Amino acid sequence: MGGSSSSQQAAQSQTPTFFTQEELSKLKSEFATGGVEKVKPLLEKKVTGLTNTELNIAVTGDTGTGKSTFINAMRGLCSEDEGAAAVGNTETTMKPTGYPHPNLPNVRYWDLPGTGSTQFIAGSYLREMQFKKYDFFIIVSAGRFRENDAKLAKEIKWLGKRCYFVRSKIDADLYSMRRERKEFDEGAEMEMIRSDCVSGLGKAGIPNTTVFLISSFEPDRYDFNRLKEALEDDLTNIKKRAFILALPIESVEIVRKKNEILKKDIWMLATLSGGVGAIPIPGLSLACDIGILIGAIIHFQECMGLDDASLHRLANRTGKPVEELKAAVKPHLLGKITPDVIARIGWGTAVVTVSALELALNVIPVIGSIFGAGSSFLMTLKILRDALKDLTENAERVVRVAFEIN
């Protein structure tokens, strides 16, 4: 009984989570009447939809609170990187400025003009800022949250969107306190700052609020991880997927979350690759759709931060030489992925254990055991699983080197 239960749990972990019940029913009925060829357009549409999912995050607050630095940190950039939000400039524009993620351009952070004017009216501000386009709002302050912040938060909540309070530059505050006092307790000082922020918001009419204390220069410290988890938890499945895949690799936990998401894409890609018109890969005995296969592995590589541009950005942020980060990655995973690379690495060349794969596949709607043991579906499935496993292990090593994690 114990083995059966654990097998079922293993199988359940492979169940796709990005489909509605209606979509699953349609997949089943289409397969029943037209087989794989009738299912493929539905899967192609879903894969395209997942890739093109838009996530728009609004960041607002007064001028000088560190909005631009925060936006850069959320995208894994420092101010010198290409595409970074300009830091330290006087705010003059009254239009939102969008900053796309470097690898996932449909994920955008929007720097909204400051809210410090004495003429500030929350409703008018949100209309001018095109309120409806944003999935949620982050209000940033470098000190106490002000009356305008509270007004804006009330209006955002009234209009049915989520709002989060971020107290930035906590590292600078703690540094000053540490220099001034002989006895210093960082945890106690943070709680005093947090309580002061919460108390101020309570007096402004927003009680029992969570305030996240962060430093945009130290994303692995203070409340930065708690903030990311809160944002993630409040998003729907498909939006959550986009948010996690866009996170910079700053912890082993983030790398593993990305792995779990990408694993759930693999069966769809394998189904598409297992269709008619596949081309043999040099060095492998089976045919696969090379475009799908290589495109997927390059996407995995970028999501895991192992492409050349991502490694350089991580080196800039952490002060580690890029050569040191690259030394943590197997040489064949650096640079361009080609059919020759796939054959040379040996992804997918081992014997495919059909029974083990069927266990994972029997909960996947429609697909089940329609492909034989020698099919390109199973081979593509195995190649992508092996590739993702390799990339995940290498990304974990890079994180440990970059952030000096044991």
The C-alpha atoms of residue 258 and residue 391 are separated, in whole angstroms, by: 11
The confidence band for 58, taking pLDDT boundaries of 50, 70 and 90, is very high
Residue 191 has pLDDT above 80, yes or no: yes
**244: closest CA among 104, 386, 58?**
104
- 136-141 β-sheet, strand order: 97-100, 107-111, 55-61, 136-141, 162-167, 211-213
The confidence band for 12, taking pLDDT boundaries of 50, 70 and 90, is very low
Residue 282 has pLDDT above 80, yes or no: no
Please say whether the dihedral angle defined by the alpha carbons of residues 6, 8, 14 and 16, taken in this order, is positive or negative.
Answer: negative
pLDDT above 90 covers what percent of the chain?
A: 38
pLDDT, tens digit, 9 for 90 and up, residues 104-150: 999 999 999 888 776 778 888 888 888 899 999 999 999 889 888 99
User: Residue 107: which H helix or E strand, with range?
Assistant: strand 107-111
The confidence band for 358, taking pLDDT boundaries of 50, 70 and 90, is very low
Structural domains in the chain, CATH included, are: 2-51+249-402 (no CATH), 55-243 (3.40.50.300)
Contact 58, 65 (CB under 8 A): no
User: Any idea what the Cα angle at residue 80 is, between residues 323 and 69, rounded to 5°?
Assistant: 115
Residue 193 has pLDDT above 70, yes or no: yes
> In the predicted model, what is the mean pLDDT of residues 67-71?
93
Residue 354 has pLDDT above 60, yes or no: no
User: 274-282: which pairs have CB atoms within 8 A and are 24 or more residues apart?
Assistant: 274/36, 274/371, 274/375, 274/376, 274/377, 274/378, 274/380, 275/36, 275/37, 275/40, 276/37, 278/376, 281/339, 281/342, 281/343, 282/339, 282/340, 282/343
Q: What is the pLDDT of residue 274?
A: 64
Burial zone of 131 (CB within 10 Å; 0-12 exposed, 13-18 middle, 19+ buried): middle
Q: What is the pLDDT of residue 370?
A: 46
**Out of 6-15, 72-81, 110-119, least confident range:** 6-15
The C-alpha atoms of residue 211 and residue 202 are separated, in whole angstroms, by: 12
Average pLDDT, the chain: 81
Residue 364 has pLDDT above 90, yes or no: no
pLDDT, tens digit, 9 for 90 and up, residues 241-281: 999 999 999 999 999 999 999 988 887 787 777 654 455 55
Q: What is the pLDDT of residue 326?
A: 94
**pTM of the predicted structure, to 2 decimals:** 0.83
> In the predicted model, what is the mean pLDDT of residues 342-358?
56
Phi, psi of 49 (to 5 degrees): -65, -40
Total number of residues shown for the chain: 406
Q: What is the pLDDT of residue 313?
A: 94
Contact 391, 300 (CB under 8 A): yes
User: Which stretches does DSSP call E strand in 252-402?
Assistant: 279-280, 287-288
Please spell the DSSP secondary structure of 195-225, one letter per residue. Answer: HHHHHHHHHTT--S--EEE--TT-TTSTTHH
The C-alpha atoms of residue 208 and residue 363 are separated, in whole angstroms, by: 43
